[in-house]
Amino acid sequence: MNRGRVFSGARPTGRQHLGNYLGAIQNYVSLQEAYECIYCIVDIHALTTLEDTDRLQENIHEMMLDWLAAGLDPQKSILFVQSDVPEVMELYTLLGMLTPLGWLTRVPTFKEKARMQPHNINYGLVGYPVLMTADIALYRADTIPVGEDQLPHLELAREIMRRFNHLFGETFPEPRAKLTQFPLVLGLDGARKMSKSYNNYIELAASPEETLKRVMTAVTDPARRYRSDPGRPEVCNVYSLHHFFTAPRLDEIASQCRAAEIGCVDCKKLLAQGINAALEPFRHRRAELAARPQHVVEVLNDGARRAQAIAAQTLAEVKERMGLMPGAAR
């Protein structure tokens, strides 16, 4: 027990999908057993891309329902919303003084965002990884579960904290990435990562009927044009999703597909059944939680209180080391 402190943040994207679950949430849940975990919904980061923010509060609520129903446990972990602990913005400003601009403009995600929203290359977008560094530093976390796309940010976080430690004395442990075991989960288009922005996802909280409807739109082996054509499971994304939900029947499904004993429609129906069966307990718990909206509010308030106790201490120490006067001591 207690191998260290985990921190991870996720943007408030509302209802979570299968990709979020397999790629992140499942991992968050299992880390609770061996680490002290802090999980944060990063609403301030979301403000860097304004189109994400029109339903911010609703998205935070829906996402928390999914987290709780999936097994994130407020008895074991601190679950909170980033802006509820405003100390992070102070630390963000202070760490910004140690961050060369060149480090930030070289970050691949910055370049990509700048390409995607040339009309809104704002200062916050450049500072995105510094805010992420402040998240990690504020809670002195050493273990950071993230996807591969976040590794450049984490490298930067390490550089900034190293620089702080060097200039002002040992304050922050060096955070290490903890990558998930799972390979990338592709969306229903079979081409891109499952994501809200590509509309190629299945929500965890979808009804069984809606799940079936979405699965039916999935792209399969493009070379299989007729029901009588043999299929190639190794190039079919529906088959790769079967790995997660119908594992005991995997070999059977593959050979039936290759022999054209089942068609893609049959195969999709099997997948939808598998997903619906696997998610039934989750969906049941989620419906119970959704009937008590006040409970989510209480969890988040309690999480913010516990997070703030840690944050206030770190920030006071940082300010003192940097030569500022912590508190109103003047």
Contacts to ligand TRP by CB under 6 A? 7-11, 42, 45, 132, 135-136, 144, 146, 150, 153
Element housing 38 (H / E): strand 36-41
Least Å from the CB of residue 83 to ligand TRP = 12
DSSP 8-state secondary structure symbol assigned to residue 217 = T
Least Å from the CB of residue 166 to ligand TRP = 22
Least Å from the CB of residue 125 to ligand TRP = 12
Whole-angstrom CA distances from 259 to 138, 179, 226 are 57, 37, 13
**130 vs 206, which CB is nearer to ligand TRP?**
130
Which residue(s) pair with 179 in the sheet?
146
How many Cβ atoms sit within 10 Å of the Cβ of residue 302?
A: 14
**15 vs 268, which CB is nearer to ligand TRP?**
15
Least Å from the CB of residue 198 to ligand TRP = 16
**5 vs 242, which CB is nearer to ligand TRP?**
5
Least Å from the CB of residue 40 to ligand TRP = 7
Residue nearest to ligand TRP as judged by C-beta position? 9
Instruction: Pull the structure tokens for residue 155.
Output: 């490298």
DSSP 8-state secondary structure symbol assigned to residue 54 = T
Which residues 6+ apart lie within 8 Å of 257 measured at CB? Answer: 230, 231, 232, 233, 236, 239, 267
**195 vs 240, which CB is nearer to ligand TRP?**
195
How far is the C-alpha of 304 from the C-alpha of 310, rounded, in Å?
Answer: 10
**150 vs 200, which CB is nearer to ligand TRP?**
150
Instruction: Pull the structure tokens for residue 292.
Output: 């008590």
Residues in the chain: 330
